[in-house]
């Protein structure tokens, strides 16, 4: 029996984009037939949390501990994240982008 993937969305409260990111993640999972998957919300409260979690910005999406859009960094901070979408720069990935990444990791 396959174990459920650990899906996390990292965010900080003052970034408005995390709400859209969560909606898009829920839609992507549903579209991929993953109806009973729990999403763990990880609130980043301060710079210490950002460093500990290797926070790349809000919202960030992790599956089984891996960021879906990894970046090499030496410092981490509380900030909104920007994604390159088909419509230009956005504050969260599209449903299509999330679906593609979910498929790439073969959940």
The C-alpha atoms of residue 26 and residue 93 are separated, in whole angstroms, by 12
CATH of domain 7-104: 3.40.30
Q: Are 24 and 85 in contact (CB under 8 A)?
A: no
Model-wide pTM > 0.75:
yes
Per-residue pLDDT at 107 exceeds 80:
no
- Does the N-terminal peptide bond of residue 13 adopt cis geometry, omega within 30 degrees of 0? no
* 98 contact partners, CB below 8 Å, separation of at least 6: 24, 25, 27, 28, 61, 68
Per-residue pLDDT at 2 exceeds 60:
no
Any idea where the domains of the chain sit in the sequence? 7-104
Dump strand ranges (E) for the chain.
Answer: 7-11, 39-43, 60-63, 66-67, 83-85, 88-90
Summarised one tens digit per residue, pLDDT across range 16-69 is 999 999 999 999 999 999 878 899 999 999 999 999 999 999 999 999 999 999
């Amino acid at each position: 029996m396959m174990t459920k993937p650990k899906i996390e969305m990292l965010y900080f409260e003052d970034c408005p984009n995390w709400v859209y990111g969560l909606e898009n993640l829920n839609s992507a999972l549903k579209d991929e037939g993953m109806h009973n998957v729990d999403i763990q919300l990880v609130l980043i409260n301060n710079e210490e949390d950002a460093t500990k979690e290797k926070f790349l910005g809000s919202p960030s999406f992790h599956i089984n501990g891996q960021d879906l859009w990894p970046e090499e960094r030496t410092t981490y901070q509380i900030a909104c994240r920007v994604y390159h979408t088909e419509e230009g720069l956005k504050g969260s990935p599209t449903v299509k982008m999330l679906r593609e990444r979910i498929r790439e990791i073969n959940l």
